[in-house]
């Protein structure tokens, strides 16, 4: 699919640690790869050539001409984060880190979220505890996201499906949520799509942006 087309076909891989060649066969527009128990991506090893995970994902996106959104944990010289990389046409477009960390753990939050302008459309990316931050999803929607992908390693919970349905309904944006062993997809009207190997979603291109200004009194 190219920008302006009617729908976006998304394939979600919640089994393999990292995307494989077989995952990229078929008729779809975007591959989403969940955490799936993958090893940490250590930037120091990626830079000196000891590991080539990011390079391999770049090569796959170029060879099969399909963008890839892949979740993994990162280690930046001791600073650990939960992250997601976005790859297209042989390039690493960026890495989004979770902006929120709710539980006490070794992972640190980032300060910014990112929106990616891909050949297939504008994709917003959220990671892990970002799921519980409505304002982050709202910011991505206001900035033009045609779909938001939220990658987590949570177990399946009813509250999480309620959240993405509410976010989609309020913001008019389809949301893909990955969790441990599966995924949920809500359309722009807040309805969950039936479980499938490939999900077809329709971005909502017609909307009215309303803003408010609040006067603060000292």
Per residue in 12-61, pLDDT (tens digit) is: 998 888 888 888 888 999 999 999 877 789 999 999 999 999 999 999 99
Single pTM value for the model: 0.89
User: In angstroms, how far is CA 213 from the centroid of its own chain?
Assistant: 31
Strand-pair category, 114-118 with 121-127:
antiparallel
Average pLDDT, the chain: 90
Task: Specify the CATH class of 8-201 in words.
Answer: alpha beta
Q: What's the pLDDT tens digit per position in 66-108?
A: 999 999 999 999 999 999 999 999 999 999 999 999 888 889 9
DSSP letter assigned to residue 192: B
* pLDDT at position 131: 97
Q: Which residues, in sequence order, are bridge partners of residue 124? A: 115, 148
Q: Which residues, in sequence order, are bridge partners of residue 11? A: 31, 198
Q: pLDDT band for position 162 (50/70/90)?
A: very high
- Cβ pair 171, 141 in contact under 8 A: yes
* pLDDT at position 160: 95
148: tokens are: 């938001």
Q: For the chain, what is the radius of gyration of the CA atoms?
A: 17
| Residue 124 to residue 149: CA distance in whole angstroms | 6
């Amino acid at each position: 699919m190219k920008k302006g087309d009617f729908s976006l076909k998304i394939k979600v891989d919640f089994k393999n640690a990292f995307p494989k060649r077989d995952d990229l066969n078929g008729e779809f527009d975007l591959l989403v790869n969940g955490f799936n128990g993958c090893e940490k991506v250590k930037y120091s090893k990626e830079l000196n050539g000891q590991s080539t995970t990011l390079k391999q994902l770049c090569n796959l996106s170029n060879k099969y001409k399909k963008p890839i959104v892949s979740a993994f944990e990162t280690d930046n010289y001791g600073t650990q984060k939960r992250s997601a990389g976005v790859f297209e046409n042989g390039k690493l477009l960026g890495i989004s880190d979770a902006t929120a960390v709710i539980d006490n753990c070794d992972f640190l939050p980032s300060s910014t979220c990112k929106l990616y302008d891909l050949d297939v459309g504008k994709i917003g990316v959220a990671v892990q505890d970002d799921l519980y931050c409505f304002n982050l999803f709202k910011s991505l929607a206001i900035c033009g996201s045609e779909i938001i992908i939220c990658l987590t390693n949570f177990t399946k919970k009813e509250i999480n499906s309620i959240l993405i349905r509410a976010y989609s309904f309020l913001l008019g944006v389809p949301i893909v949520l990955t969790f441990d062993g599966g995924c949920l997809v809500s359309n722009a009207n807040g309805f969950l799509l039936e479980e499938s190997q490939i999900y077809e979603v329709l971005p909502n291109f017609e909307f009215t942006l309303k803003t408010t200004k609040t006067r603060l009194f000292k």
